[in-house]
Structure 1
Amino acid sequence: MKNALKIVILVISLLSISCKEEKKERTTITKPEIKRNAPKEIAYTFQKSEEWLKSEGTNTKALDLVLAINRVDAVNLKKLDSILVPTDFSGDLEYYMPFPLEVAVLNDVNKIILFSYATQAFATYEYGILTHSGPSSMGRAKDKTPTGLFFTNWKAEETISTFNDEWKLKWNFNIENKLGIGFHEYELPGYPASHSCLRLLEKDAKMLYEFADQWELENAEKVRLKGTPVIVFGSYDFKNPKIWNTLPQDAKALSISEVELETTLSPFLPSILKEQTKREKK
């Protein structure tokens, strides 16, 4: 009888250990492993747009960098007289954008999208690792993009603007349903020009369209699960010249430190992790 009891206890113990290991395995975080090429130096100069396009415009990587640095699309790049050009094109795009490559305070957040108003740029992080970055054109002075924490809700490959029914918005992902604010592909002229939405280059809009999650509704009036967190932060100085035009004098003029981001993001983390837990338990 005693031997039988010992066997039962042993089996229960093994099952308990197995369950604990299974639970531990389910909650294991796998951080993205990204190999990046850093440039030898980060410095910038002004060049004539027409001349640069003639000599380097067919170089896809160089063109992508120049578009991002100047916060423009290809059509508007041709309209500029002078453009910012890096002296070294060997690095990956993320090294020329303002966001840090890692943010420890986001280590437990599976994915998040950040928009910096001051630098007109966006970034995605997965478990604290920067995975994508690029330029944006946010709300103009009289139609500022609201700041704070949002969650993606519904999306559409193409929809019509609520501001002007002649505007077609491609790869649109709404983040504020009542105000009709979202991110989507649209013209990037090199300054904040939108009517409060978050404009993106087409390739970036497509990427975020696939990256973010839609909400899940319980019924027409109630949201069961929110989508991917989006934080819009900072403010743009509309009275002074574009801050990226100071890059030739100070290559780090736009840089956002990890400490700055921690201060900005920390107040929102409890809400973000609460919603993330809900999604994981569905």
Structure 2
Amino acid sequence: MKKYILILSIFMVLISCKHEKPVMHKKAAPTRTKPKAVGYHFEKTKSWLATTNDSAKIWIVLAVNRTDKANIVKMDSIIVPKDLSGDMAYYLPFPLEVSALENVSKIIFFSYATQTFATYEYGYLIRTGPTNMGRKADKTPTGLFFTNWKAEKTTSTFNDEWDLKWNFNVANKLGVGWHQYELPGYPASHSCLRLQERDAKYLYDWADEWVLVNDQTIKLKGTPVVIFGSYNFDAPKPWHQLVRKPKALNISEATIEKEVQPFLSKILSEQKKRENSKQ
């Protein structure tokens, strides 16, 4: 009888293991406030700023116009959402969720076409904002990169009078990275990824540095960064289309999946190395 019970117990364990699914990473979707509707119109910059002191609304308008507080005042007119009651994510083009990224702990995207960035954790959009990338003569390279070294403040290699705050390099040999610098509202950099200071500081703290052995050999790569798309430098600013078509710049989940798919195995492999190093 005891032998029968033992065999039955082993059989039940084997059946249980056979049907047990692999443990997946879980993360709750961020809670966000959605505006009732997303529409846009042009307004005179000085008039709008004179009647608005809500900082949350100002940050949204800065993002929609791909600019910062110092440069928005130089613009004659700006794009303004008709309903500013929602969270930033609803006014910028990246999807809130990408199922293809459900096993990726951290990843950053920069869209050349829309001049925006987005970070994801296990498939959920965590942060998004505006960027001004490389100008026509110095285009930002596209493809897969990994963050490497960072510095709270460094000096530009193009001009030693340019101080770059919260600098995080992504292409070491090319000298390309993100940092805080003025956003005039169009691609204007010497190939780097310009950000508002609050976004540059956030990414500086959020992303991982590489790990080196003897200051030379790369032991662990940093956070994956995918830079994709192209910008039509001879056309009007693409976000001006939003007045006629509010969803004109939307980036679909399928588009993100298509961009990341060629790199996914590499991203997960490097992620596994970092995870194993912590054990």
Q: What TM-score, normalized by structure 1, do the two folds share?
A: 0.91
Deviation track 1:110-143 (CA, whole Å, cap 9, x = no partner) reads: 0100000000000000000001000000000000
Matching of residue 260 in structure 1 with residue 255 in structure 2: yes
CA distance in 2, matches of 1:231, 1:109: 13
The residue number in structure 1 matching 2:131 is: 136
Equivalents in 1 of 2:271, 2:64: separation in Å?
33
Cα distance between partner residues in 2 of 1:271 and 1:238: 32
| Matches for 1:61-72 after TM superposition, within 5 Å | 61-72=56-67
Aligned mates of 1:98, 1:245 — CA distance in 2: 14
Q: Aligned residue for 1:124?
A: 119
What is the aligned partner in structure 1 of residue 240 from structure 2?
Answer: 245
Identity within the alignment, %: 57
Task: Give SS of 1:52's match.
Answer: helix
Distance, in Å, in 2 between the alignment partners of 1:272 and 1:156 is 24
Is the partner of 1:141 in helix, strand or coil? coil
Asked if structure 1 preserves the Cα contact closer than 8 Å seen for 2:24 and 2:103, the reply is no
How many correspondences in the alignment?
Answer: 270
Alignment-derived partner of residue 51 in structure 2? 55
- From 28, 33, 36, give the equivalent of 2:32: 36
CA distance in 2, matches of 1:162, 1:222: 24
Q: Name the SS for the 1:281 alignment partner.
A: helix
Q: 3-state DSSP class of the match of 1:275?
A: helix
Can you give the 5+ residue segments of structure 2 that lack an aligned partner in the other structure? Answer: none
Per-residue CA deviation, residues 192-225 of structure 1 (Å, 9 max, x unaligned), is: 0000000000110011001100000012331000
Q: Aligned equivalents of 2:104 and 2:214: distance in 1?
A: 27
Indicate whether 1:166 and 2:161 are aligned. yes
1:269-280 to 2 correspondence within 5 Å? Answer: 269-280=264-275
Q: Deviations over 1:48-101 (max 9, x none)?
A: 000000001x11011001000000000110010000000001110000000000
Q: After TM superposition, give the deviation of residue 28 of structure 1 in Å.
A: 4.2
2:215 & 2:29 partners in 1: Cα distance?
40
The aligned residue for residue 105 of structure 1 is 100
The amino acid across from 2:267 in the alignment is: I
CA contact (8 A) 1:32 1:126 kept: no
Pairs within 5 Å for 1:67-82: 67-82=62-77
Q: Distance in 2 between matches of 1:220 and 1:62?
A: 45
CA deviation digits over 1:253-276, x for unaligned, max 9?
A: 110011111111100101100100
Any runs of at least 4 consecutive aligned residues in structure 1 with deviations exceeding 4 A, and if so which? none
Tell whether 2:150 aligns with 1:155: yes
CA contact (8 A) 2:63 2:129 kept: yes
Aligned match of 2:276: 281
What are structure 1's unaligned runs of at least 5 residues? none
Residue 136 of structure 1: SS of its match in structure 2? strand
Matched, 1:146 2:138: no
The code of the aligned residue for 1:236 comes to Y
AA aligned to 1:44 is: Y
Write out aligned runs for 1:177-216 (5 A). 177-216=172-211
- CA distance in 2: counterparts of 1:109 and 1:189, whole angstroms: 33
- Asked if the contact 1:109–1:128 (Cα under 8 Å) also holds between the matched residues in 2, the reply is yes
Q: Which amino acid aligns with 2:188?
A: A
Post-superposition shift, 1:31?
1.2
Give the counterpart letter for 2:47 in structure 1.
E
Q: Distance in 2 between matches of 1:210 and 1:220?
A: 22
